[in-house]
A and B are shown apart, each in its own frame.
Chain A
Amino acid sequence: MKKLLLVSLCFLMLSITQVFAQNRTVTGTVTAKDDGLPIPGVTVRVKGSAGGVVTNSAGKYSITAPAGAILQFTFIGYNAQAVTPKGTVQNVALEPASTALGEVVVTGALGVKKEAKELGYSVATVSTKELTQAKVTDVATGLAGKVSGLQVNLTDNGVDPQVRIVLRGNRSITGNNEPLLVIDGVPIEDPNYLNALNPEDIESTTILKGAAAAGIYGSKASNGVLIITTKHGSKVAPSITVSNTTYLQELSYLPKLQTQFGGYGGEGGSYVNANGTVNPVGYENEAYGPAFDGRPLLIALSPIFAADGTTVTGYDSLYTPYSYKKNATRDFYRTGLQNQLSASYSAGTDHGTFYLGAQDVSTNGIVPDDHSRRDNLTIAGSQDYGNFHADYKVSYDQNNVNTFGNSYNQASTSGGLGAAGVFSGRPLFFEVLNTPPDIPLQDFKDPTSQYGNPNSYYSAYSTNPYWTIANSRDKRNTYNLLGTLNLSYKITPWLSVADRVGVTQTTEQYKYTRAGITFAPWAIADPQGAGNVASSQGYLAPAEFDETYFEQRLNNDFYATFNKKFGDISVNALAGFNMEQSYQRNIQLEGDALQFPNDYNIGSVLGVPDYGEGSYTQRGYSFYEQATVGYKDFVYLTGTNRDEWNSVLDPAHNHFEYPSVSASYIFTNNISALKDNKILSYGKLTAAYSKVANINIGGTNGNPYGAYSLVNPFVPPSGYPFGSIGGYSQSSLYLNPDIQPEKTSEWEFGTELGFLDGRISLKADYYQSKTSNESLTADVSAATGFTQKLVNVGLVTNTGEEFDLNVIAIKSRSVTWNIGATYSHYHNIINQLPGGEVEINQGFGDGVSGGIYAIQGQSYPVIKTTDWLRDPATGKVIVDPTTGRPTIDPTEKVYGNTSPTQMLGLTSSVSYKNFTLSVVMDYRGGYDVLNANGANLNFEGIGAQSAENGRQRFIYPNSVVSEGGKYVNNTSVAVNNGGNIQGNGFWPDVYGNGIGSIYVTSAAFWKLREASLTYDVPKSFLASVPFIKRASLSLIGRNLLMFTPKSNIFSDPEFSDAGNGNATGATSDAQMPPTRFYGANLTVTF
């Protein structure tokens, strides 16, 4: 023993001697390898010695170490590094630790962080880097293709598009199916609020897919939850990041258009010459004229006035060669320009953090004069004071959108607020498309010019789209304010209480204005005998519509968290109380006849303006509890419950419970044979069951929150009040005091497997949810005095499988290649729907019959429309033995479902030295879309389809004719009138006239959604500018490519006539054509 002691002492002496002899001071900066930013708080230690130093807020350290000693750098979340300093300066870049699968920390419900292994249900996270790699302005669009089970649709295109987000498909037939958005712990119902966030402010995004995960949020979360946590600053050296992105936006696809035939509407005999062939007609918007031959064609007149200025003595005539004007339609659209400038400042000390973010997004759309500007300012931070913690955030966002409105037409009418009133013109895209290919549309750019003005415009039946741009404007200014404050106090190390307050306020100012037109007397006299707009309308009064909208949501959560280990058992619990209130008020004013042109003030309305006011309040409160009990590190059981009371239901039904249970079993931590297995490094099995309810009468009662759905109101019928005489009538919807929430129960099973030390990870989930008590407005016999009644009926089942695969394909010193794939298969069926079916939309656009339906025994939603009468034996189309034309079967049939049953997302990120190439592709399939504008294209003779047979007679393909009571293959009867001679043509009368089945196509697509090539400027380059910590340059693109089946020659199947509503599956010319974005980004961190 003595000997041993002596030897030890000797060793000790030796080392002391060494220290005394060769010690020196080593200094340096520790940075993070991923973002190059300095890391404060890193422990630096001489290997083998006790103690050590910690880097300061600038990431700098200074330590005395013997020569040749090894310095160890350790910091949570980063791989430890050991370095032997060569000199007295040693900078170190730490690599972020690749956490083992189960240890990823997930922000769950109410902001409570949990390790992934504890979770018994499916949760997905999207890193901010992945989310913003393509510099999206709306975070929602940055999620597309990156999460299994998540469907993100850009439902329209324009300067302020709407997005529809659905997790695991549609559960509710007419109610809300979009997930709940939670920002910093505060629920915000409408996921479109994402568009009011600066994507650069986001710290993490978590998606709770199933009801089990979401149940604790109560009724609003029955469709899953998107949890967004924003930056609050970090305890690192202060840094400023400035980023500028410039995007060009370009029209990518137009429907296929014909290029051979010009204008001729076919109404009268005078346009048919002696040979029985047609003469082109210059003022027609229907392109059924003869084939182009280059002759000069009179297309418009402009009067020559006598000295008195009113008497028309003759006409100037505008001629154009009767030939194809290449790209006249396409060139209507310009290249859009978007500039995003963001700056953020982040700082922190040991006791607090601060974050300031600002963004300016200015967009000039592809339609001339379209522009929008969004400005966002966020201030956030946190403070710790002993056991007390506070964090806060205030975010202000304003979005000013100025875009085109509707045109006017022959049948423009007025009356009624909104859509029924001054909005009743046609969409701009219709007017652009509806231009025969011989018309030089660009020549009419100036709507005040000799031939661009409404009196002289070439088309007698439609509006100069440039007039619409200049005179019909839609201005929407939205102001959003979001504030959160979270206070918590740690009573003991294992028990904390917290209160979180959130308020969101949205104010919207909307003004729609449309100039009037006093058509010139000569135009009303209709010198070409066209039956033009001027003669039908005579006068179009200036009109305007105003809406002011205010919404406020208040939310307060008071909760306690408990976290303690009892031997092998860990308990992690939470209990809380929530109160929330939503309030909305809007005022609408509309005048369809103003005293003065260009004085768009409601005070200048002639007569009495239409007006309306609505105000809605909804409140609720809940108690909720959650507990997770873990045994060792391989079994976790979680139970949650929420008791909710809501004001919109009758007191007899206004309380309901949301219980859920889930379990997680990490067998690789349990079965000793699997422990530390290199091939299967991680394995988890999960199961969950939950019941949630959703008050979903808002959509059916046409009333936000579903308030006031119990007692029937009286409403003024159209026209009331007449002076001092009021009038009130029952409404057409019979309300129902017994209405209850929709109820969903869901099973979910999953597994998560990690292979090769986490190089490959695979997640798979299966779920089945059943939703009953659908809140619907069922049609009732009109003899009840009402036409609809609010009811709870039906049963909808959703089942699906989801797979997420992540592979680190290459990981070497210079090359890293990560590949991700997500695949979801989804199936939905309406098991029960008393009454059989419910129409969800208001029919299709462009005169196509049918609609989007919910039908018992079918998937939801489905297209229902008309088809040809067919031979039941062969399914071939029956044509008339004399005209050769098919006939519409008046009974509408069900066509495909309109929700994708398969979704595949592929992401790839390759880094080579300082270059990183990332791409996101996705595929959706197994569903259909009805492209209503196809009917228009054929009716107008503009579409390529209508010129397939060169406007000649042809035998309808795969048709049969009746012969002696039997159907035989048609080989001889050609359709009469393959053009449109005397207004009886096949294409406008048959193909463009109500039939729907021929415009139903597969909605499948492949899209290259995002691509970015980033170059990180090497440190050596930046050495001369030491204040720049990091710089990167990227080339980026969005929606670069789209591949659709050959049959879809129309539009982007992601679009929807229903906006972000449930009735997906129909597009029309109410949506702008698809576009692609490409541009560059420069990001510099100081």
Chain B
Amino acid sequence: MMKKTIILLFITTVFASGCKKYLDVNNNPNQPTVVTPNVVLSAGLTGSAVAVGIDFNAVNRYMGFWSRSGNYVADAVNEQYQFNNSMTDADFAEEYTVLNRYHYIETAGTINGLPFYVGVAKTMEALHFSRLVDIYGNVPYSQAFNPVKYEKPKYDDAATIYGELITKLDSAVTVFQAAATYYKSAPKTQITTDDQYDLIFGRGAGVAPALRMTEWIQLANTIKLMLLLHEAAPGVITDAYRTAEIAKITANGAGYLPAGLSAAVNPGYSNTSNKQNPFYAFFETPTAANVALGEFRANSYAIGFYNMGSDERGNFFYGAPYTNGLPQGNYDGDPNSLTNTVTSQIGGDGDQAAYGATLANAGTLKSSAQDQLIISDFESLFIQAEAAQRGWITGSAATFYKEAVEQSFRYLNAGLYGTGDPKDDADDYLAGNGNLTSPTNTDYVVFAGAKDPLGVIMTQKWASLNSINPISVWTDYRRTGYPVSSILSISHSTTHVKNAIPTRYLYPQSELNTNSANVPVITAPAQYGLIFWDKN
């Protein structure tokens, strides 16, 4: 017994000192546990690209852009508007996942004194939270991103969140202004690094920091003006508040995203698995055409509008097969939907041979390496056109409108007709001459002397953002009522929950499972509940 005790004592003495060290092998060698904000910024921006590019893509169906193909079975959820809670689980989570990256950037950027990162984080947070509010109304905001303290974050009032986002954008502008000063004394390596990870305005190294900061301020201003427009309906916010907020934008002097400057992300997309542009990847894989091209087909609503004004863009939003040189689609939910042998796929480059044109980089599916638009210049111009039309900002609504449509044509490289310069085709179209045949109706094309100028702007915005930013279009539709029902109406399914396009998504099932006490109850049918700015 004595010997045993001695042996044990010996072992204990020898090992006790070394033991702590012996166990010190739990440091993760596979993944970093601390990273600098720059690498999170690139991840944040590509995350935003995915979210804007393909999340909530069923909205393309409600907005008359996409329809189901006759080769696929009916989808009651989207065609009969039988919304359920689980349909947006993944998209809801994705928004917060991306926001969590910006949240980290904002925190780490503030601690490390890197104003540029703080500014980008605030700007992108405003964009994503406004999307969430526009889709769901009240959402977790003030208690988000704190899994320790707030495992079940409360839902904040949607209008309050909007107000805070507007303030956040102001503060983003201030930070960008500070960043411009910061870069004057920053080491070159810092500038180069920040350039490289700024996948929107960095455009590779070499952009002068001051210019870059101005461009970010322009994006922040554009988003802010967009949010104020979302609140345009009477009684949502006071005129005084609006005027004061717009005055702040005007005061910073940077203006809005101009023609030729889109906020678009490109980390170096290429035709490799997981490295393709997300919208492109939704339809095609590097080695084979994907079935998603077969699953969704052109929607007759949008085609009807393009044909009515003889708008060649229809041939760029939609691809082969064409019928008599024009895209052919289905009304979503139509029980007699045509099969894929006759209906156009999503994304086209015109029926170029038929028009003797050779247009590279055309349409919405240009290549696997294309930029992913976050807010395009034409969207910015439409925003400015609407604000000018409402008399909120100076400048001519007609000019903004014209530029917007021209930039839309340019984005698609739609130049089948005429000289091959898309701008000329746009101008012809805007003049009511049409591109391909004789237009039958130009009520929502020609701005000069239009009976309903706001309707013209909003309808063209809808027609330009086809497949590009369906959420933005859906929000516009809900708050303004454009496009009118003669242009866009409900799916052609035989039955609907209600004969109207849904006005919101239901809260995700994942939230009901994990945070049910806080999830607001929306009166059934919840898909027809109204977001706070929806006074229509």
Contact = CB atoms under 8 A, between A and B. Distances in A.
Interface of A: 267-268, 410-416, 421, 491, 495, 497, 529, 531, 536-541, 558, 560, 562, 573, 575, 577, 579, 592-593, 607-608, 610, 613-621, 623, 645-648, 651, 654, 707-708, 710-720, 722-732, 734, 779-787, 789, 835, 890, 983, 989
A461 B340 CA distance: 17
A783 B96 contact: yes
A716 to B, nearest CB: 7
Contact of B151 (A267, A560, A623, A780): A780
B267 A781 contact: no
Contacts of B39: 714, 726-728
Given A410-B291, A645-B19, A722 B100 contact: no
A545 to B, nearest CB: 12
Given A560-B7, A728-B39, A786-B147, A593 B287 contact: yes
Interface string B10-51: 011001000110111111111111110001101110110000
Contacts of A537: 288-289
Given A714-B34, A783-B153, 15 more contacts: A416-B274, A536-B291, A539-B287, A541-B288, A579-B15, A610-B273, A621-B22, A647-B22, A647-B26, A648-B26, A711-B28, A713-B32, A725-B197, A732-B93, A783-B144
Interface of B: 1, 3-4, 7-8, 11-12, 15, 19-20, 22-35, 39-40, 42-44, 46-47, 71, 73, 84, 92-93, 96-97, 99-101, 103-104, 139-140, 143-147, 150-153, 196-197, 199, 267-275, 285-291, 294, 339-341, 508, 510-511, 513-515
A424 to B, nearest CB: 11
A785 B28 contact: no
A786 B100 contact: yes
Contacts of B271: 607
A780 B84 contact: no
Contacts of B30: 613-616, 708, 713
A411 B287 CA distance: 12
Given A592-B286, A730-B100, A732-B97, A411 B291 contact: yes
A623 B146 CA distance: 40
Contacts of A784: 96, 144-147, 150-151, 153
Contacts, number: 241
B286 A414 contact: yes
B284 to A, nearest CB: 10
A781 B273 contact: no
A716 B43 contact: yes
A495 B3 contact: yes
Given A415-B285, A538-B288, A730-B101, A785 B43 contact: no
A375 to B, nearest CB: 34
A311 B395 CA distance: 62
B33 A782 contact: no
Contact of A621 (B19, B196, B286): B19
Given A413-B290, A780-B151, A785 B100 contact: yes
Contact of A717 (B22, B46, B287, B514): B46
Contacts of A785: 96-97, 99-100, 103, 144-145, 147
Nearest to A719: B274
17 contacts: A415-B273, A573-B4, A614-B30, A615-B30, A617-B25, A619-B23, A620-B23, A621-B22, A647-B25, A707-B25, A707-B26, A725-B196, A781-B511, A783-B96, A783-B143, A785-B100, A989-B73
Contact of A607 (B150, B152, B272, B288): B272
B52 to A, nearest CB: 15
Contacts of B15: 577, 579, 621
A781 B154 CA distance: 10
Contacts of B34: 714
B153 A497 contact: no
Shortest Cβ-Cβ A-B pairs, 7 listed:
A785-B100, A415-B273, A713-B31, A783-B140, A727-B43, A782-B93, A722-B267
Contacts of A268: 339
A541 B287 CA distance: 6
Contact of A592 (B28, B153, B273, B515): B273
A994 B514 CA distance: 25
A444 B148 CA distance: 60
Nearest to A654: B23
A263 to B, nearest CB: 18
B514 A835 contact: yes
Contacts of A707: 25-26, 28
A983 B97 CA distance: 40
Contacts of B151: 780-781, 784, 789
A41 to B, nearest CB: 33
A713 B144 contact: no
Contacts of B71: 267, 531
Contacts of A780: 147, 151, 514
Contacts of B340: 531
